[in-house]
Chain A
Amino acid sequence: MGLVARVGAWFLGIAAVVGQLTLFAGQVARATLRPRLDGLETWHNLYRVGVKSLPIVAVTALFAGAITVVQVGAYVVKLRAYEVVGWGFGFSVFREIGPLLIGLMFSGRVGANNTAELGTMTVTEQVDALRALAIDPIDYLVMPRVFAMLAMMAALTVIGDVAAIVGGVATAYGLIGVDPYVFWNSFTEYVALADFLNGLAKSTVFGLLIGVVSCGFGLNVRGGAPGVGRAVNASVVASAVGIFVVDYFLTWLLQ
């Protein structure tokens, strides 16, 4: 196959995936018009998606906060700008680093797991069995998962923000000797509620994106176990790319 044909085939493949996901997102959007969340499935997914992700998100956020302070530490000492550490830290972590890193971690842990589970259910005909029992897989399997991911991404971001502050304060004190009181004053004085809400809005959209992408790839698996592996891989890549693209536009929109 020539180079042009290969590039063409690659573009056609991407277009097919985007088209498939768009149609799937349309099905999810239609299902939200007749909300029939299964209570047990929703609770089960809230626990699986949220509680089980808590340790990894807390650790990630703790170190993200610490790393942010490490990065700016040398300049803070050089410029003796101790009173702006809290502001710089809060602005970047709340608005950008927190939602982005938690989104990527969430995609890798929850999104991949979700695609694998739904993909396995698809190739073993469990999804067809649900349909044969007159139970809509979108209502029963997808909506509770998407809702749980959306809600828990927001909740985990709040918890992650707190963990990041702890990491940031501890590192600022230990590394560059910034008194926690000075850090906190700078943080509360310059970081506005809008910065926090900006990050929260981004996280919620990332949660929705990861939910739709991971469920879409899972329910469209073809080709047995190798197909499930390919779908998990594609789901994580698509979610990560989607997070960055959506983040770009949201950052621009929410300025």
Chain B
Amino acid sequence: MIEFIDVHKAFGDKVVLAGVTLTVEPGSVVFIIGKSGAGKSVLVKHLVGLIRPDGGEIRFEGQAISAFAERDFYPLRKRCAMVFQHSTLFDSMTLLDNVALPLRKHQRLGQAAAREGAMARLAQVRMDHLAQRMPGDIGDGLRKRVAIARALTLDPEYVIFDEPTTGLDPVSARHVDALIRQLSDELGVSSLVVSHDLRSIFGVADRIVMLYQGKVRLDGTPGDFRASVDPVIRQFVRGLAEGPMEL
């Protein structure tokens, strides 16, 4: 289980998280939603130590990790993978070698064996036919699929997806949704998903947490969100330009 307990974070004068508390149960799919700049990506990056909190505590399976040194995070990062918002594939490597890298480094496989394993992962996201291309030669949506394949190479128990369907065509987006659901249902992988994609949110989430003004506005099921009478939540869920939500 992952627990964020009263987490605070500010960058200079700008307070991004002002006491966020939430939990992610094993095997569940939890979506973090909120307007741009609400602190969703900042929150999830705390979990793998890419950002450190100013206050509060983060627990990973009962262990407090907020005060971990950089190297203490490495075992955790093998169990909790992250797919970044902008894919962040390594420009100097082919798509195949991008996916093979974690296998080569952590499973001590030779280059040939790592590439074989990587090819299977690429096939999972239907990218094996482009394995020898460079990241700069393909579009954003395809890069995102490769980034997902790379994140899954070490068979993580938790996966953080930062806007996994942004930039994807509708068909690819639904494929990613299905993959997230499949990871949870068949392999018991927990997913923490940052997203604005309402179709993904209501199609895949077990639970939704909305961040607003640095705090959790509502933590509930998709049904709770649909039924909410909170005007801020209603505006977001309906995608309305007019309403009480601050820009």
Whether a CB of chain A sits under 8 angstroms from the CB of B211 is no
A130 CA to B101 CA in the complex, in Å? Answer: 10
User: Any chain A CB within 8 A of the CB of B91?
Assistant: yes
Q: Which of B54-62, B74-82, B174-182 contacts A (4 or more CB under 8 A)?
A: B74-82
Does A245 interact with chain B (Cβ within 8 Å)? no
B39 interface hit (Cβ, 8 Å): no
Which interface class (under 10, 10 to 19, 20 to 34, 35 or more) fits A? 10 to 19
A126 near B88: Cβ-Cβ < 8 Å: yes
Instruction: Indicate if A83 sits at the interface (CB-CB under 8 A).
Output: no
Q: Is the interface of A mostly helix, strand, loop or mixed?
A: helix
A134 touches B88 (CB 8 A): no
- Chain A window 126-155, contacts with chain B (Cβ cutoff 8 Å), 1 for yes, 0 for no: 101111111110001000000000000000
User: Which of B49, B71, B78 is A136 in contact with, Cβ under 8 Å?
Assistant: B71
Minimum Cβ distance to chain A for residue B7 (Å): 19
Given contacts A132-B81, A134-B77, A135-B101, contact A124 B48 (CB under 8 A): no
B contact residues around A189 at 8 Å (CB): none
Residue B106 interfacial (CB < 8 Å): yes
Partner of B74 from A40, A124, A126, A136 at Cβ < 8 Å: A136
**A117 to chain B: closest residue by CB:** B92
A133 touches B88 (CB 8 A): no
With A126-B90, A128-B50 known as contacts, the answer to whether A133 contacts B84 (CB < 8 A) is: no
Interface size on B, as a range, is 20 to 34
Partner of B105 from A125, A128, A132, A135 at Cβ < 8 Å: A135
Min C-beta distance of A31 to chain B, whole Å: 11
Report yes or no: B50 in contact with A124, Cβ–Cβ below 8 A.
no
Closest to B91 in A: A126
Q: Per a CB cutoff under 8 Å, which of B74, B90, B150 touches A134? A: B74
Tell me whether B228 is interfacial, beta carbon within 8 Å: no
Given contacts A40-B111, A126-B90, A126-B91, contact A132 B84 (CB under 8 A): yes
Q: Is the CB of A128 within 8 A of B74?
A: no
A-B contact list, 8 entries, CB within 8 Å: A126-B89, A126-B91, A129-B82, A129-B88, A131-B48, A132-B81, A136-B71, A140-B105
